[in-house]
């Protein structure tokens, strides 16, 4: 079985990046796995699993021309990963407050110490230039149980009174 590669493409956002990149891969016989593609700070970012080729060099050869044309930074790594390795999050943390340094570090350090395994984190800065606010959503697994996270949350709220932090279980309904 051919290996998977993690392809990273980042550059100034413009219309058509996804279509052009994926079409080129498709025309060359590559297939795609899981991917995250989103705009961050005016840049468009792609991280995606690409399969169907046998070496990093071949994939780089395919992608280099389009990366140059679209002014995208390109990075390709052979990875050990496979599809169907999903883990189910059981907790969601939402944090927001007036933007300042250290929000992510302080919150995630306390949560990590209480056993949170982060599966997904996304954050955004909103507001106006003079008064930005920071918003962060985390989904993860409470590896040391729910009450450890509750205790950590209370500590965060006490030590970082400028932040609004919510902890909520993700209840899975399987049918």
Partner 1 sequence: MARLTLLTYPDPRLKQVAEPVSQFDAQLQLLVADLEETMRASPGGVGIAATQVGHLQRVVIVDVSSKPKISHHGRLILINPEILDWEGFEIGREGCMSVPDYTGNVVRATHLQLVAQDEQGKEHKYTMEGYEARAVQHELDHLDGILFIDRLVSRRRDLFQRKSYKKTNSS
* Residue 15 tokens, joined: 């219309």
Contact predicate 85/15, CB 8 Å: no
HSE on the CB side for 38, CA within 13 Å? Answer: 7
| Residue from 13, 54, 77, 150 binding partner 1 (CB under 8 A) | 150
Q: Which residues lie closer than 8 Å to 53 by C-beta, 6 or more apart?
A: 2, 5, 28, 29, 30, 59, 62
98 binds partner 1 (CB under 8 A): no
Q: Verify binding: residue 41, partner 1, rule CB under 8 A.
A: no
User: Rule CB under 8 A: is residue 13 a binding residue for partner 1?
Assistant: no
Nearest distance, CB of residue 116 and partner 1, angstroms: 15
Binding-site member from 33, 106, 139, 144 for partner 1 (CB under 8 A): 139
Enclosing H/E stretch for 125: strand 116-128
Q: Is 88 in the site for partner 1 (CB under 8 A)?
A: yes
Give residues in contact with partner 1 (CB under 8 A). Answer: 84, 86, 88-89, 92, 94, 120, 122, 137, 139, 150, 153, 157-158, 161, 164-175
């Amino acid at each position: 079985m051919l290996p998977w590669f993690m392809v990273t493409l980042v550059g100034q956002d413009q219309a058509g990046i996804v279509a052009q990149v994926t079409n080129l891969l498709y025309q060359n016989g590559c297939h795609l796995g899981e991917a995250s593609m989103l705009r961050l700070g005016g840049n468009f970012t792609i991280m995606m699993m690409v399969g169907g080729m046998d070496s990093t060099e071949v994939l780089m050869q395919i992608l280099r021309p389009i990366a140059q044309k679209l002014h995208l930074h390109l990075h390709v790594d052979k990875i050990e990963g496979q599809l169907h390795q999903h883990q189910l999050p059981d907790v969601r943390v939402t944090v927001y407050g007036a933007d300042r340094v250290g929000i992510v570090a302080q919150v995630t350090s306390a949560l990590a110490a209480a056993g949170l395994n982060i599966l997904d984190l996304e954050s955004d800065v909103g507001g106006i230039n003079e008064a930005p606010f920071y918003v962060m959503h985390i989904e993860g697994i409470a590896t040391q149980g729910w009450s450890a996270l509750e205790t950590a949350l209370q500590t965060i709220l006490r030590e970082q009174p400028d932040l609004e932090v919510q902890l909520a279980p993700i209840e899975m309904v399987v049918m």
